[in-house]
Amino acid sequence: MTGQSKPARLSPWGSAVAGATGAALANAMVYPLDIVKTKLQVQVKSRKGEAQDEGNTPHYDSTVDAITKIFQDEGFSGLYSGINGALIGVASTNFAYFYWYSVVRAFYMASVRSSTPPGTAVELSLGAVAGAVAQIFTIPVSVVTTRQQTQSKGEKKGLLETGREVVEGEDGWTGLWRGLKASLVLVVNPAITYGAYQRLKDVFFPGKTNLRPWEAFALGAMSKALATIATQPLIVAKVGLQSKPPPGRQGKPFKGFIEVMQYIIDHEGPLSLFKGIGPQILKGLLVQGLLMMTKERMELIFILFFAYLSKIKKERLKKLAERASATAKTSLPVTLK
């Protein structure tokens, strides 16, 4: 047999584990930015700039101001409030996304019977399908995590207790799926992200299977920035749906993301649909860059790990076969007596 063998590829399950692991590690590194962007997005101000009365909840002027005040009020642990649920949500969402993206993409490539990479429109569609399936199964964790991140210092609750609070609320069990419509619309975010990533990869590194860490980081950061700018109003609306209603609503929850966006426009102006975009983009740049960089490395690690397990399995089978053969030869004379 001549020529080089094709590089090993992970199964959809292996790709999903690699993606989920990379996502969890990346989000853990920049989690304080997630806390800040959530608090900025649920903060409601009037058109004149003053914050609405929210009891003991402090008002944040910027990313740095939010980090400083959270640290002063709650200590270092306050910057990591709700991290357990967040990492569970991130890992499960990315596991589901990467799994279904691998399955859907492999099915598409097999159906068209072509080795040519899909076009941009197809990549976006495949990403949207995978993202929609992932969101349906994982959004309850996102709802609980958002509630945890927006709890004041005296209201801090654990993951299960916060989940119970959501279920015992006005919407019952369906409250765990608040913001589902916005989340389904937001599948265009990972679709744009990974579609752009694949396009940029084909343009800048055609035919290259494994990127260097800095190459994966740069492409991941650029693709995520594009997706965040395009979908920020929906991101803000989703957070508004999943958190407690603002004081001006007298405890009345929003019915849909359009109502959230209208409320923000009426009370703060259209530009407030992009509030929190600073830490959102910074977090997105770092997370996506680290995610794609880590995922590329994790895929290599898993490929080597599975190859190692396969080698051990073959060696054990070989030893068992040799032992069985030796036993058969030893027992042969006894059988002939």
Each of the 337 residues of the chain gets a pLDDT tens digit; together they read 444 444 455 666 777 777 777 778 888 888 888 888 888 888 876 555 455 545 556 788 888 888 898 888 888 888 888 888 888 888 888 788 878 888 888 888 888 776 677 776 777 778 778 878 888 888 888 888 888 887 777 777 777 888 888 888 767 888 788 878 888 878 777 667 777 888 888 888 887 777 787 887 788 778 878 788 888 888 888 888 888 778 777 778 888 888 889 888 888 888 888 888 888 888 877 776 676 666 666 667 767 777 777 788 888 888 887 777 777 666 555 444 4
Give the residue carrying structure tokens 């009370």.
267
Burial of 78 (0-12, 13-18, 19+ CB in 10 A): middle
Residues 166 and 297: their CA atoms lie apart, in Å, by: 38
SS3 45: strand
The pLDDT assigned to 1 comes to: 42
SS3 117: coil
Burial of 165 (0-12, 13-18, 19+ CB in 10 A): middle
Residues 113 and 110: their CA atoms lie apart, in Å, by: 5
Residue 79 neighbours by CB under 8 Å, 6+ apart: 31, 32, 35, 67, 70, 71
The most distant pair of C-alpha atoms in the chain lies apart, rounded to whole Å, by 105
Residues 39 and 151: their CA atoms lie apart, in Å, by: 9
The pLDDT assigned to 184 comes to: 81
SS3 content of the chain, % helix, strand, coil (to 5): 75, 0, 25
The pLDDT assigned to 180 comes to: 81
**Nearest-10 Cα torsion for 221, 143, 132, 104:** 70
Question: Please, are residues 101 and 316 in contact by the beta-carbon 8 Å criterion?
Answer: no
Give all domains of the chain, ordered by start, each with its CATH number: 12-312 (1.50.40.10)
The pLDDT assigned to 55 comes to: 52
